Structure 1
């Protein structure tokens, strides 16, 4: 894949449709490849030309297994050096790196979470990633597109559907959302005709309300 986040449900659908394994890659709009999977395993960082650091909010390295901000240095960018550049992405390094069957001694990423905007800190202090929501809605094909707008004590879910969604679908999705988030939040469902993309043209699943 290339250009946008590859979610588990998308990977399964593509693999079934083409009867072939799906290999995910991770690159930057600044024009270079950062890491790539070998089938569905970890992402191997292409360390001959890029250094990847995973840092916390204080620019300190996070322990393996914890989510951190992706900061990259491109070693072979001779015309325009890229040194410790924060991409605005989040990723996790494996607590125990996988032994490569081909002897690839490259650093590994367990998963690429997505953009920093793909994370919401709940009122109870839990870190909720975009995967929490995609994991719920992948089971509801009647909901063709959705976006979540969180506030201090509620979630507004805007959704797009070409047909009327049966009430049982929203009730089932509400139960899954409350279970996944693990907190008592008011849920409001709003059917819309369109859901705006982010300025980059990519879907924005978690959207912040405008502040006064």
Structure 2
């Protein structure tokens, strides 16, 4: 029995109808695809202008002559009661409701109408199918967080069983725990790995230390799909070497859809079936392909709740080789609020610190993972997990690297811990500015 599809139907999500609709979208020829996008943009805009008082109030005093005149919807705008944001005909009883993780600093509750949510799952099914995976039958090794209260824990375990997956809790990832993880791969016929990048990276480092290739242990493995955290090129190489399978980068947002997914050609394909994705500058003006800016997303099908020109909080670049039907994310450079402001006035993406430090701090050392916090304009703290303190020589190398790529005169504090504190979801925030 197709348990995953059955569970969606049981909850009222018309998954079969959504699959058929996605097939129709994907069958639209390239020469007609721009017209499809324009028609859906106008349709969803007109719907919310007519049936959603929350959205009408956002645009009521604005002069709107073209799409680009529409206001940018921010997470802060959405931090008000959900009932006040729902469209006519929708209530908390007939929509899908969830909440964002709060990684942007602005958590909120959101809603999607049931067809829109079913279409989200249809897109996910389609992308995973590129690698021969089926949610109804493929067995997932899931590296995610899990509720720690008794009711939440067993509820999630039951959901995992229904969804053909086995969960590896990631709040404590010492060698003893990772040894237990590995034991499950000897016993179970997993088809793929899915979860947070940092946790899966720790497992790969454990395998490297033990000189083990996971595919040799579990020959049924096909692919590893990482999500929610940055995937650096050297991390991808490590995972592919130790797992012996392709590593795919997924990019999504719970309140929207799957935004981008790497295909077998290693291209990061954008979802422009159910979404319209723009890149804009600091003045919210659209940028051409190849330019870096803020990622702005419109949900083309969610009638229950408006997500029109919604600022996701990420920075990225859409590739110049993109067309109306086939769009590619060239790179994702981090969150708009994760920037470091330096004493000189220079502003750099916070992950620059993480990136320039990563190769040095992990090269030939026992460091498993680390995070960086900006405490003052000139003061940065590196908190790391290791069996031993970082040597003075290694610390000097890190300082030299930061001076080279950023600027001189910065203060660096090193703090060794046994376990890094993760969010309730299990995510690890790799850079954070406290100023």
- The TM-score, its normalising length taken from structure 2, stands at 0.42
Among 111, 118, 129, the residue aligned to 2:338: 118
- CA–CA separation in structure 2 for the residues paired with 1:131 and 1:10: 15
Supply the distance in 2 between the matched residues of 1:26 and 1:92 (Cα, whole angstroms).
Answer: 13
Q: In 2, distance between residues paired with 1:160 and 1:117?
A: 25
* Alignment counterpart, residue 165 of structure 1, candidates 387, 390, 405: 390
Q: Which has the higher helix share?
A: 2
**Matches of residues 50-61 of structure 1 in structure 2 within 5 Å?**
50-61=275-286
Q: Give 2:359's match in structure 1, choosing from 138, 149, 157.
A: 138
Q: Is the 2:334–2:349 contact (alpha carbons within 8 Å) kept by the matching residues of 1? A: no
Query: What's the C-alpha RMSD, in Å, of the aligned pairs?
Result: 2.7
Aligned equivalent of 2:349, options 112, 115, 128: 128
**Does structure 1 residue 33 correspond to structure 2 residue 258?**
yes
Gaps of 5+ in 1: none
Per-residue deviation, 1:67: 2.7
Question: How far, CA to CA, are the matches of 2:415 and 2:257 in structure 1?
Answer: 39
Which residue of the partner structure matches residue 287 of structure 2?
A: 62
Aligned to 2:321: 97
Deviation of 1:207 (Å)? 2.1
Q: Hey, what's the Cα distance between the residues in 2 that align with 1:81 and 1:160? A: 42
* Bigger Rg, structure 1 or 2: 2
Q: Is the 8 Å Cα contact of residues 75 and 81 (structure 1) preserved in structure 2?
A: no
In structure 1, what is the equivalent of residue 35 of structure 2?
Answer: none
Task: State the Cα distance separating 1:147 from its structure 2 match.
Answer: 2.5
Shift of 1:51: 0.7
Correspondence 1:48 to 2:273 = yes
For 2:371, the equivalent position in structure 1 comes to: 147
Separation in 1, partners of 2:349, 2:306: 34
Q: 1:14 to 1:68 in 2, by over 3 A?
A: same
- Residues 117-137 of structure 1, C-alpha deviation per residue, up to 9 Å, x if partnerless? 333233332423414423422
Tell me how far 1:28 sits from its aligned partner.
0.9
Mapped contact 1:148–1:205 kept (Cα < 8 A): yes
Residue of structure 2 aligned with 1:177, choices 362, 381, 402: 402
Q: Secondary structure of the equivalent of 1:53?
A: strand
Displacement after TM superposition at 1:16 (Å):
0.6
Rounded to whole Å, the distance in 2 between the matches of 1:201 and 1:93 is: 29
By percentage of residues, which structure has more strand?
Answer: 1
